[in-house]
A = this chain, B = another copy of it.
């Protein structure tokens, strides 16, 4: 396998998981970012995998090269994980897939999450340079699209917020349980969701003890949530917040229930939707918290219904770097290649 974007937080988390995976070996790593600048070997870039131990679980001497898709292809990986923003992903994905013996591609960016190029262009503000691939890209949320993965050539890994919100919304929308009125998802995320790039608001002194909302009415995961849950975009309000924590997303979703929907029906809807999911846990009235999912690939969902039965509040929790990024990517990889679904993920 190959990784583009090794030194970002998603790339790092992926390497952490690889060392536990029985069937994957890292053969190519590229990094063009400023983080870990100067590092030329994997062991220098990722302190957790520093050289020195008698038996390092990963090739700490693997050369990290900035560069073009050709260099990656030269190592002949079976699968390439793109842990970079949508702009480089738009360049790399077509290039990789156009190779004579193309690797399969798992793209963690937002570049291929919509089937509609216009929707992408509206929310991301840039033209989509590879619209011909949108139809075949599989949205890699195994809870919904498990069956499509074995044959997928290009998997678009979901956004972290979108996974958290849709875990709450998709079963209800699918069951027709949504009543009239706005659906509101108020999400709280740890700072690694914003990446390793330096920003004033991510300085330790600025974020420790702080909390703020951002991206009101504008966050790019809003249409992604609607697109993949089946909720009309106009009915959804999504508001992310920055938490003084390193990792994790807690999403509190307020859903008007259709008249007559019972608590039993809601429970049944969730249980059935996730009966086959390895990594989504239905906790019912016991509400999840970040600590129950930190450093794991689980997404937990719990909920309460108002005494008058007209509103449901679902709380979902996941680790943005694992189920929200690298872990889910690896889960997708496992399902694409027929490995054990949990390989490398426990």
Residue A123 is within 8 A (CB to CB) of chain B in the complex: no
For residue A134, CB closer than 8 A to chain B, the reply is: no
The answer to whether the Cβ of A264 comes within 8 Å of any Cβ in the partner chain is: no
Copies in the complex: 4
Query: Closest CB-CB distance, A20 to chain B, in whole Å?
Result: 5
Binds B, one of A73-81, A82-90, A195-203: A195-203
> What count of chain A residues pass the 8 Å CB interface test?
87
The reply to whether A47 and B244 contact each other, CB–CB distance below 8 Å, is no
Assess the B212–A57 pair: CB atoms within 8 A. no
Q: Are the C-beta atoms of A47 and B212 separated by less than 8 Å?
A: no
Compute how far the CA of A14 lies from the CA of B306 in the bound complex, rounded to whole angstroms.
38
Other-chain contact of A243, B211, B274, B277, B300 (Cβ < 8 Å) = B211
Q: Which of B206, B239, B288 has a CB less than 8 Å from the CB of A313?
A: B239
What distance in Å separates the Cβ of A257 from its nearest Cβ neighbour in chain B? 11
Chain A, 223-278, CB within 8 A of any chain B CB: 234, 237, 239, 241, 243-248, 250, 252, 254, 256, 274-278
Q: Which of A211, A250, A280, A346 has the most CB of B within 10 A?
A: A211
Within 8 A of B (CB), among A182-238: 182, 184, 186, 188, 190-192, 196, 198-200, 202-214, 216-217, 234, 237
* Interface CB pairs A-B, < 8 A, 25: A48-B291, A50-B281, A50-B300, A51-B281, A53-B279, A53-B280, A54-B274, A181-B182, A182-B256, A186-B252, A191-B205, A196-B200, A198-B198, A203-B203, A208-B209, A209-B245, A209-B291, A210-B289, A211-B245, A213-B313, A216-B287, A217-B306, A217-B307, A217-B313, A244-B244
